[in-house]
Structure 1
Amino acid sequence: MCSHYEAPSPAALAEAFGVEPYEQLKLNLWPGYFGPFLRMPHDSEELEGSTAGFEVESGSFGLIPGWSKDDKIARRTYNARSETVASKPSFRNAWRHGQHCIIPAAAIYEPDWRSGKAVPTRIERADGEIMGIACLWERWKNADGEIVLSYTMLTINADDHTFMRDYHQVDHEKRMVVILPKGAYRDWLKAAPGESMEFMRQYPADCLSVSNHNDH
């Protein structure tokens, strides 16, 4: 499960996804922090065959369901298991309505337990490009009546993944976030709710690598 990741710089994200530059104060993100996520523009849904670009929004890392009394729940809802997301109260509304989004990440961090101790390890795409992680987004109204957006990373089992099985404790299930191939970005964002599970696939092990710098 991923509770720590690094967002790309606003300039890098704008270049990679063709979105307008935005303000992002922190790139090193934990549950409850605000970061960028990508989705299809609302008006593009009305245009059949639309080639409209992505839109970037800012939201809480950790999904806040509409029924939540406060935003503290984000500390527990930053990951959603694909096997149970359809039935969990926190996530089922977003899943049922196909509220798909993509979290852009320069890298994710996972604990390497092979030494017997948790060693935070920076993991990135082997080609150095931005990761596009499959996520769900939600809207929530706070006590002041303001609309707050939020998101959660979707995860799958990785017990047999030759790269990700080295992470997390030995006696624990191995998990990994759903990293989308670039060619699937638009398909994921436009997919109907009934098609969501088709995207829950492992990212190839040889397309991931441990960064040679770990300074966060």
Structure 2
Amino acid sequence: MCSHYKPVSHINQLRQAFGLGPLEDLGRPDMWPGYQGVFIRPHPHADVGDEAVPAREALAGHWGLIPHWSKDGKVKGTFNARSETIAEKPTFRDAWRKGQRCIIPALSVFEPDWRSGKAVPAKVSRADGEPMGIAGIWSTWRGPTGWVESYTMLTVNADDHAVFKLLHKPQDEKRMVVILNPDSYETWLKGNAADVAPLIRQCPAEALKLGQT
């Protein structure tokens, strides 16, 4: 489970790594659940044939998905979604079935390393130093003061992963966020359920770097 990550906060880096148009709000420089962060989704007018319209847009949203049917927008524990049950859980299933998939740009994620007997913050990043594109889904909720965008990160089991099996308490199930290959971004955002199924998997350990904060 990921509850802390470092977002990509440099505009040029976001444009180059994720093919974005103009950006306005980059959200917080250090992300925890409930904070406003950036997520990427297809631009709603990308298919109109206007070259001035970018294929993707970046929005600021609440990290922790708020389902459209929420009465008060107060939700807990929705910053991660288990990929095994995302199509069934009431909080996530509508966004999933509608194909409301997104990418969360991150430089690193942080998890507790318990190998010493106590929690030591550990940083996981890409070994090549490039930004991560984390698979997610998004939703829009209508609150008393207007529309609120929100998102969550998909996770998979990582009990056998060479990096993530070292993290969290020994007795806990190991989970890791789904880190997409850059060449699969378009498929994740626009593909159908059959197209995206192979993308929901562990990121190879050799593509990651584990370090201290």
Q: TM-score, normalised by structure 2?
A: 0.92
Partner of 1:141: 142
With over 3 angstroms needed to count, the CA separation of the structure-2 counterparts of 1:25 and 1:63, relative to structure 1, is: closer
How many residue pairs align between the two structures?
208
With over 3 angstroms needed to count, the CA separation of the structure-2 counterparts of 1:194 and 1:139, relative to structure 1, is: farther
Distance 2:32 2:129 in 1: 22
Distance 2:133 2:115 in 1: 27
Report if the CA contact (8 A) 2:135-2:179 is conserved: yes
Report if the CA contact (8 A) 2:33-2:64 is conserved: yes
Report if the CA contact (8 A) 1:124-1:208 is conserved: yes
Partner of 2:68: 66
Match of 2:58 among 52, 56, 59: 56
Letter in 2 for 1:179: I
Q: How does 1:60-209 map to 2 (within 5 A)?
A: 60-73=62-75, 75-144=76-145, 146-209=146-209
Displacement of 1:105 after TM fit? 0.3
Displacement of 1:191 after TM fit? 1.2
Structure 1: stretches of 5+ with no match in the other structure: none
SS at match of 2:90: coil
Report if the CA contact (8 A) 2:27-2:36 is conserved: no
Distance 1:86 1:62 in 2: 17
Displacement of 1:195 after TM fit? 3.6
Partner of 1:27: 29
Displacement of 1:162 after TM fit? 0.8
SS at match of 2:184: helix
1:166-211 per-residue CA deviation (whole Å, 9 max, x = no partner) reads 0111011111000000110011001113444222111010111124
Distance 1:66 1:208 in 2: 35
Distance 1:81 1:25 in 2: 25
1:11-42 per-residue CA deviation (whole Å, 9 max, x = no partner) reads 22133223223233521011110111111111
After superposition, the CA RMSD in angstroms is: 1.7
Distance 2:151 2:194 in 1: 20
Letter in 1 for 2:5: Y
Distance 2:77 2:163 in 1: 26
Distance 1:18 1:183 in 2: 12
Displacement of 1:46 after TM fit? 5.9
Displacement of 1:147 after TM fit? 0.8
Displacement of 1:52 after TM fit? 4.9
1:89-141 per-residue CA deviation (whole Å, 9 max, x = no partner) reads 10000111111100000110011111111111111101110000000000000
More strand by share: 2
1:46-94 per-residue CA deviation (whole Å, 9 max, x = no partner) reads 66xxx95321111110000011122320x31000001111110100001
Report if the CA contact (8 A) 1:97-1:193 is conserved: no
Structure 2: stretches of 5+ with no match in the other structure: none
With over 3 angstroms needed to count, the CA separation of the structure-2 counterparts of 1:25 and 1:173, relative to structure 1, is: closer
Partner of 1:10: 10
Distance 1:193 1:60 in 2: 25
Partner of 2:45: 43
Q: Percent same amino acid among aligned pairs?
A: 49
SS at match of 1:44: coil
Report if the CA contact (8 A) 1:98-1:196 is conserved: no
With over 3 angstroms needed to count, the CA separation of the structure-2 counterparts of 1:46 and 1:187, relative to structure 1, is: farther
Distance 2:98 2:112 in 1: 33
